[in-house]
Structure 1
Amino acid sequence: MAKIVCGSFGKYAPNFAKTTLEKPSQHPNYIGVKYHIESDLAPNRIELHNFHDGYCGISKVDSGRYCLCYLSKSSNLTRFGSDIKAMEQAVLYKNPFLEKYFTQSHFLFDKPLVISNVYFHPKETYNNGIFMLGDAAGAITPLCGNGMSMAMRASKILATLLVSYFNLNMKKEDLISRYDRLWKENFSTRIWAGQHLQHSFGKK
C-alpha cells in the first residue's frame, strides 16, 4: 500500500476524493469558452470586458494570435438552448467592444474549446488519505491567477515536505498540517480575492 497518494484531478474530483467543503449547488455554475483569433488589437495589452453574468478576457499569445476566452454563468447558455452562438449574439454582443471583436476578427478554431460545470468554492488540501494538488485543492478565478502555475507551485511545496517525511524527519500528521498551512499562505488570499472580485463582474 502506498505511503503517500497525491490527487491532481483538476476541477472534477472523483467521488472518493470529494472534500467535505464541496457543496457546488450553493455556488454559481460557470462555463468557460475559448477561441484563438487574429484581430487588430494592441499586442501589449490585456483586455477585460463585462457582460451580463460573465466577463471576457483577450490577450496576445504568439504569432500574431490572440486568446479570447470568457466565463459565463451556465444559466445564460441554458436560456438559449445550449446554443453558444445564440448566447454570444444575444448576451455578449450587448457589449459594443465584444460585438466588434466577434464580428470583425478572424476565428482560427472551427469550434470553441468549452468547459462546463466550473465552480469556484473552498476545498481541502488533504482528504480521505489524499494530498490535493492544483484545481483539486481549490480552483482560482482567471482574474487572480493561473491554475497551472498554482499546481506547479503546490507540487514543489509538497515535494519539499515529502523529502523530510521520507527521511523520517517528519510525522504524517505534521506533513498534513504543514502542507495545509503552506498552501494557504501561498494561495488562500488570492483565491479569496478572486471569488470576491468575480462578484463585481457580470453586472448589467
Structure 2
Amino acid sequence: MTVTETDAAVLGGGLAGSLIAKSLAEKGWRTLLVDRNRFPRHKVCGEFLSPEVRQMLDAAGLTDRVSALRPAAVERVRLISAEGGRVDIPLPGIAMGLSRFRLDEALHEAAAEAGARVRTSSAVLSVERLSDESCEVRVRRGSGIEIIRARTVIAAWGANGQAAVTGFSGPATPGNPANPAPSALVDRGRSTLYPWSRSAPDYMGVKSHYTGIEMEPVVELYLFPGGYLGLCPVEDGLVNASALLSRDAFRGAGKSVSALLEAAAQRCPPLHSKLKRGLPVPGAQAAVAPVKLNRRPNPWDMVPRLGDSSVMIPPLCGDGMSMALRSARLCAPLADGYLRGELSLAGWEEQYVRAVKRTFGGPLRWGRLLQSSLGSPAVVRMLLRLAQLSPGVASGLLKATRLKPEGEN
C-alpha cells in the first residue's frame, strides 16, 4: 500500500474533471486526476459542443488545442419525426462536433502539461472526510491499494460513477429519500425548478461512429416512439450516432449496440434510410445503463460534484458537454479560494450550490419539459408544425435549453 499526499484529488477524468484539474494545477496546487478507465476511449455522448463552449475554451486556453483536433462545424439543428416531418433551427453561432475519444485525451494532456498528475485505470473505492481541511481516498491500482490524502476532493465521475464508491449516501433520487437534494435547490420534491417524476422511465444510451454518411453542417435529431437518436458530424468525416432509448420499449431488441441501433432505425424510416448508407466503425461502439433523467440535482454531497455527477440535462438538448465545462468553471475559483484559506468549506458549498442553481436552473427546467413532451408522437407532430409556422418559437425553445454566456447569469 502506498500513500500519496496532494492538495486536490479530482475523481473522474471527463471534461469537468480534466478542466478543473488543469485550472487548479495552473494555480500551483498539487493536483491529482484519477479515473477508473483507460484512455483514449469511446463513451456514450452526443459529441456536440454547442456555440457557448467557444467562450469557455478561450478562457481556459484550450482553443488552439481543440482546433488542432479538426472538429466538424455545425450550424443548424434538424428535427425529424418518424413520419418524415422535419424542421431546421439555426444555432446562435458555430457549434462543433468532436469525439470524446479525441477530446478527453487532449484535455488529459492539457492538465498534465499544467502540472497535474493524471492516473487512469485507477478505481476509487472510498472517500472519507477526516475534517474540513482533509479527506482520504482509497484507490485500487492494478493489484495494489493507494491511499490519497488530500486537502480537498472534487467528484467528477459522471452520472453512475458513485455506485462503486463507499462513503456517500447515494444519488439524490425520488426513490432514495434518505439522501434528499440540497434544500437550496429543491424543496423536498415540491419545487418546480427541477421537475421530476417518480414514474419517469429508465433509459439506456448507445452510440456508434459511422463512415460513409454524407452530412451537412447540421446535427440531426430523429424522434420516434420509445426514444430519439442524434446524428452529429465529428472529425475526419465520421458521423456519431447516439441514442437514448427507453429500456421498457426496447427490452426485446437485443443486447448489442448494433442490434439496438437497428431496432431504433426500424421505428423511424428516415433514420433507417440514413444509417443504411454508412458502415459502423469497428470498436467505436459504447453503451450505458441505466440513464435516470429523474435524478435531482446534487452539486454537493460531502464534496463538490461536477458535470453529470451534479446535474444532468436530457441529451436531446445537446448541452451536456457545455454544462460539464461550465460546472468546472464555476467550481475552480471557489476551490482555489478554499485552498488559499480565503473561503471556508461551508462558504464554498453555499456559493457553489447557489451558482449551480442560478446557472443551470432554466436549461434544466426547459430540457425536462421537452423530454417529457417528446414521448408523444402527437406532441412531436404539433411541435414540428408549430416550428414550421413560427420559426421564432423554435429558436426560442432552443435558446431556453442553452447556457447563457459567462457573466450573463
TM-score (ref. length: structure 2): 0.45
Q: Unaligned regions of 5+ residues in structure 1, if any? A: none
The answer to whether the aligner puts 1:139 opposite 2:291 as a matched pair is no
- Supply the distance in 1 between the matched residues of 2:255 and 2:278 (Cα, whole angstroms): 23
RMSD (CA atoms): 2.5
The answer to whether the aligner puts 1:126 opposite 2:300 as a matched pair is yes
| Preserved CA contact (<8 Å) 1:22 1:123 | no
Q: Unaligned regions of 5+ residues in structure 2, if any? A: 1-129, 135-150, 177-197, 378-409
Residue in 2 that maps onto 1:105: 278
Residue in structure 1 matching 2:175, options 17, 23, 27: 23
- The count of corresponding residues between Structure 1 and Structure 2 is 203
Residue in 1 that maps onto 2:361: 188
Residue in 2 that maps onto 1:176: 349
SS of the residue 1:46 aligns to: strand
Aligned counterparts, 1:11-50, within 5 A: 11-12=159-160, 13-14=162-163, 16-17=167-168, 18-21=170-173, 23=175, 26-50=199-223
Q: 1:41 to 1:23 in 2, by over 3 A?
A: farther
Q: Any idea what the Cα deviations from partners look like across 1:69-115, whole Å, max 9, x if unmatched?
A: 11101112313354655554455323111111232222223673111
Percent identity of paired positions between Structure 1 and Structure 2: 24
| Preserved CA contact (<8 Å) 1:21 1:124 | no
Residue in 2 that maps onto 1:80: 253
Larger strand fraction of residues: 2
- Supply the distance in 2 between the matched residues of 1:177 and 1:146 (Cα, whole angstroms): 25
- Supply the distance in 2 between the matched residues of 1:4 and 1:171 (Cα, whole angstroms): 12
Larger helix fraction of residues: 1
- Supply the distance in 1 between the matched residues of 2:304 and 2:284 (Cα, whole angstroms): 36
- Supply the distance in 2 between the matched residues of 1:97 and 1:186 (Cα, whole angstroms): 36
Give the greater-gyration-radius structure (CA): 2
- Supply the distance in 2 between the matched residues of 1:66 and 1:80 (Cα, whole angstroms): 23
Q: 1:87 to 1:169 in 2, by over 3 A?
A: closer
| Preserved CA contact (<8 Å) 2:207 2:257 | no
Runs of at least 4 residues off by over 4 Å: 83-91
Report how far residue 16 of structure 1 moved: 3.6
Residue in 1 that maps onto 2:156: 8
Q: 1:89 to 1:144 in 2, by over 3 A?
A: closer
Q: 1:4 to 1:105 in 2, by over 3 A?
A: same
SS of the residue 1:6 aligns to: strand
- Supply the distance in 1 between the matched residues of 2:369 and 2:158 (Cα, whole angstroms): 22
| Preserved CA contact (<8 Å) 1:11 1:135 | yes
Q: 1:125 to 1:110 in 2, by over 3 A?
A: closer
TM-score (ref. length: structure 1): 0.85
- Supply the distance in 2 between the matched residues of 1:60 and 1:106 (Cα, whole angstroms): 14
- Supply the distance in 1 between the matched residues of 2:209 and 2:292 (Cα, whole angstroms): 24
SS of the residue 1:195 aligns to: helix
The structure whose RCO (Cα within 8 Å, separation 6+) is larger is 1
Q: 1:107 to 1:130 in 2, by over 3 A?
A: same
